[in-house]
Structures are given as structure tokens and as C-alpha cells.
Amino acid sequence: MIRVGIGYDSHRFAAGRPLVLGGVTIPHPLGLDGHSDADAVAHALTDALLGAAGAGDIGRHFPDTDPRWRDADSIGLLRQACALLRDRGATPLQADITVIAEQPKLARHAVLPSTSVAATIQDIERLLQALGDRTRLRLLNLIGDDEICVCFFVEALGESQPKISRHLASLRRAGLVTARRDGKWIHYRVAQPVDAVAAEVLNGLRTWMRRDPEMRRDRERLVAACCAPDAPVQLRLAPKPSRFVEAS
């Protein structure tokens, strides 16, 4: 399903402020007044994305009364909105942005180059950081192509719930997994990164995981945790991953 959102934003010019549009600082005697960096392009796009996802508006998520967003880098807010979309299983496809301003002339400035939102070196760094940890790799391996409830990770990896949750949160921030809450259960699924390079890295890694003996043993432990008749009661109550539901 394709959903469309419309965003609009305006800021007054002010002296002594930088002019930031689409994450690009444009040399100009005047900047835009505002609580954050006043990047109207990033704000309008963020608002449109949140609207399309049915997730409210930018003011609700990043209120200008909150000191956390003072002089905030609005591309960072846009990223957070993108992460929220990912959590809801949504992917931004396209954005058309029109800037209306008497000055300066923008044509000669690369406002919002496509790389500034979709994939920056920080995205790749964050991806590699998230993948540079054994427990997180094991979690991705256990999820595979399925949707798995947290309690099974705890059982299969023999690690504490808080530790597993911390690693899952880190995978989520890197856009590698999405979470879905269903009553008291939280299910995780691997997300396909929007960026092509990131997707390639992840897919290569998952191919290796399918062959690695230790990762295989983890998967066997997961099967045992899901299907053992003498499993702890909370595991027997937990919703099983679909591949085991289909098999039984």
C-alpha cells in the first residue's frame, strides 16, 4: 500500500543564525530563526513522513519547548522519523520538495543531495557498529526470515533478558530489525536496509550465517526452545515463530 503525506514549514529570517536547508549550510548573511537549526526543508519532509505513517506531526515528536531539540540538527530528527517509519514497516519511496524564498538563489546550491538522507557515512558506520558484536550477529541469525518473540532469544542464547533487550535496541537503532508489540510479547524481524550498500553488507553476512556451524547450533537451540514439550511454561505460552507453527 502506498500512503502519501504532505508537510509544510516556514521560518523567519534572522541575523546571526546559519541558513540550513536539507542539512546543507548555505552561505548567506541571514539564517532562519527557530528552536532547532530551523532547517525548514528537513522539517517539512519529517512532517510529511510522520503524516503518511499516521504517526502525528513533527511538533508532537520534537516539541520546540523541549530543551533537547535546542539547535538540534534537523537531519537527526528526520533520521529518527525514518526509524519510526521502519518500526511500522514503512519505507519512504520518494519526496518532492519545493522551497519558496525571496532570497538567496538556491539553484546553485546542492540542497538536499539524495545522499544526505538515504545513506551517509554515519549510516554505514552505525550499521557496522551494530554488526560488530557477536551477540547481535547471533540474534540476527536466530531471527532469520521469521518474526521471533524475545523470550526465545533468552532461552536459545542463555543470556539475560536485559542484555538481549539492549542488543535488540541497538539493532533497532541501526535499522537492522523492526519490533512489533502484541500484548505482552514483543516480536522482532530483520529489516531490509533502504540503502543498497547496507543491504548488500547484511545479505552477505546472512549467507555466511546460514553456513557457519556455530550459528547453526544456535538455530538448533532455538528449535529446541520452541518445540520442547518440557520447556518452561512461559515459553510454551509464547507465540511461536511461524516456521514452527507451520511445521507442527
Least distance to Zn ion, CB of residue 34, Å:
6
**Interface with Zn ion, residue 138, by CB under 5 A:** no
- The grid cell for 142 is 536466530
Span of 4-12, 98-106, 198-206, 209-217 interacting with Zn ion by CB under 5 A: 4-12
- The grid cell for 45 is 519532509
Measured from the CB atom, the residue of 63 and 232 that comes closer to Zn ion is 63
- The grid cell for 131 is 554488526
Q: How are beta strands 24-26 and 30-32 bridged, if at all? A: unpaired
Looking at residues 36 to 55 of the shown chain, list those that interact with Zn ion (rule: CB under 5 A). 43
> By Cβ distance, which residue is nearest to Zn ion?
43
Please tell me the distance from the alpha carbon of residue 213 to that of residue 203, in angstroms, as a whole number: 18
**Interface with Zn ion, residue 17, by CB under 5 A:** no
Please tell me the distance from the alpha carbon of residue 191 to that of residue 6, in angstroms, as a whole number: 25
Contact predicate 79/85, CB 8 Å: no
Cis amide prior to 239 (ω within 30 degrees)? no
Coil vs helix vs strand at 212 = coil
Helix axes 161-173, 134-143, angle to 10 degrees: 80
Span of 6-14, 170-178, 179-187, 198-206 interacting with Zn ion by CB under 5 A: 6-14
Instruction: Name the strand (E) or helix (H) holding 49.
Output: helix 40-52
Binding track over 192-231 against Zn ion, x by CB under 5 A: ----------------------------------------
Measured from the CB atom, the residue of 43 and 79 that comes closer to Zn ion is 43
Least distance to Zn ion, CB of residue 225, Å:
48
Measured from the CB atom, the residue of 46 and 170 that comes closer to Zn ion is 46
**Interface with Zn ion, residue 9, by CB under 5 A:** yes
Note the residues at the interface with Zn ion (CB under 5 A): 9, 43
